[in-house]
Amino acid sequence: MAGIRTEPVTVNLGPQHPSTHGVFRLRVTFDGEEIIDSEPIFGYLHRGTEKLAESRNYVQIVTLTDRLDYVSSMSNNLAYVSAVEKLADIQVPERAQYIRVISAELQRIASHLMATGFLLNDLGALATPLTYCFRERERILDLFEMLCGARVTLSYMRPGGIFQDAPEEFWSALNTLILDFPHYLDELESLITSNEIVLSRTLGVGKLTDAQAIDCGVSGPNLRASSVKWDLRKAAPYEIYDRVKFDVPIGVNGDVFDRYYVRALEMRESIKIISQCIDQIEDGPIRTDAPYFIRPPKGEIYSAIEAPKGELGFYLVSDGSIAPYRCKVRAPSYLNLTPLSDMLKGWKMGDLIIILGSIDFVLGEVDR
């Protein structure tokens, strides 16, 4: 019996994900239930961050970076201040570098917890797994509050170091967290990694090949899930990453499951890095005595770090004044969405939601 002939239907689909709340338009063409084409449309959240940076001095811009990937403020701070330090030739004290790395790895864990919780939410496991992830993230936010008094938009780092040293209670709370966290990850993985429903919905779904990922400029866990072993902390070490030992987990199939599992393994590696930092850190200054109004010499610089979502880079052009002539952000969320149309083709609407969720993006840094 011949199949029923249907006409393709194009629909505007969304909001599709907790971080898209009306600011990301996805136009999808279906043939029956099958996706035959899709077009992601950005730009609804544009806040002009890069342009705003041109009218603020180099220290004031730190607060703008918090609002890019707003679940990874520490990483945004680090990427930006590293670029300023390179541009202005500012040295960073060793103690500040260690605290920066501890902060960045805590932020990586917090970001991956959100990615995992919301992916399970997209799969239909409403509230419970996400609540478990929020519970552990709260402990990390408590640590951030000890460092700077804020929990989400932190503005903790400064060109030349950090805002202030970590208080004594921070270290005891951090030690407790790194002792507890591997057991929590065991619990989380026992609920997810071998779950029959999770496996049936994620294995082989939304594949991204290594060639596609490289061609599209994909980075971070999404690239590594496609079996490409590339991590800027290893490939181009910054801060004190060349002094700590850690592995770079990679996937095999580049599917939804691998993108989840790489993040789960990366959280374990972050705990390893933090533990080594605690063992190695020594007393000392936490900030170079740089002027508040930094005037880098005329020139340009590009500096990037391995943020939770991938390569986060800042391109700065100095004209010798107290504000950058140009500030351009290389945002991983934006580039990680590039192959979305190819990843969705041939799948159904229920698959679309989890493929999108597995990319783990934030529109704050897509619409800069």
What is the pLDDT, as a whole number, of residue 47?
A: 80
Joined tokens for residue 151: 């929990």
**Is there a contact between 363 and 70 (Cβ–Cβ < 8 Å)?**
no
The pLDDT > 70 percentage for the chain reads: 96
DSSP 8-state class, residue 164: S
Rounded to 10°, the helix 94-122/73-88 angle is: 140
Residue 111 above 50 pLDDT?
yes
What is the pLDDT, as a whole number, of residue 7?
A: 87
pLDDT in tens, 222-267: 999 999 999 999 999 999 999 999 999 999 999 999 999 999 999 9
Average pLDDT, stretch 307-320?
Answer: 96
Q: Where are the domains of the chain?
A: 9-366
For the chain, the average pLDDT equals 92
Average pLDDT, stretch 163-185?
Answer: 95
Residue 15 above 90 pLDDT?
no
Better-scored residue on pLDDT, 32 or 141: 141
Residue 20 above 80 pLDDT?
no
Average pLDDT, stretch 315-327?
Answer: 96
Average pLDDT, stretch 353-359?
Answer: 92
Contact partners, residue 312, CB within 8 Å, separation at least 6 = 69, 75, 76, 79, 304, 305, 306, 329, 330, 331, 332, 365
pLDDT in tens, 33-82: 899 999 988 888 778 899 999 999 999 999 999 999 889 999 999 999 99
Phi-psi region of 17 (alpha: psi -120 to 50; beta: other; left: phi over 0): beta
Confidence bin at 292 (pLDDT 50/70/90): confident
Average pLDDT, stretch 5-29?
Answer: 79
Distance CA 261, CA 175 (A): 25
Residue 83 above 80 pLDDT?
yes
Distance CA 213, CA 204 (A): 16
197 CB neighbour count, 10 Å cutoff: 11
What is the pLDDT, as a whole number, of residue 1?
A: 44
Q: What share of the chain is helix, strand, coil (3-state, %, to 5)?
A: 50, 15, 40
Confidence bin at 367 (pLDDT 50/70/90): confident
What is the pLDDT, as a whole number, of residue 41?
A: 87
Residue 4 above 80 pLDDT?
no
Q: Report domain 9-366's class.
A: mainly alpha
Contact partners, residue 46, CB within 8 Å, separation at least 6 = 367, 368
Lowest mean pLDDT among 120-134, 156-170, 239-253: 120-134
What is the pLDDT, as a whole number, of residue 32?
A: 87
Confidence bin at 14 (pLDDT 50/70/90): confident
The pLDDT > 90 percentage for the chain reads: 79
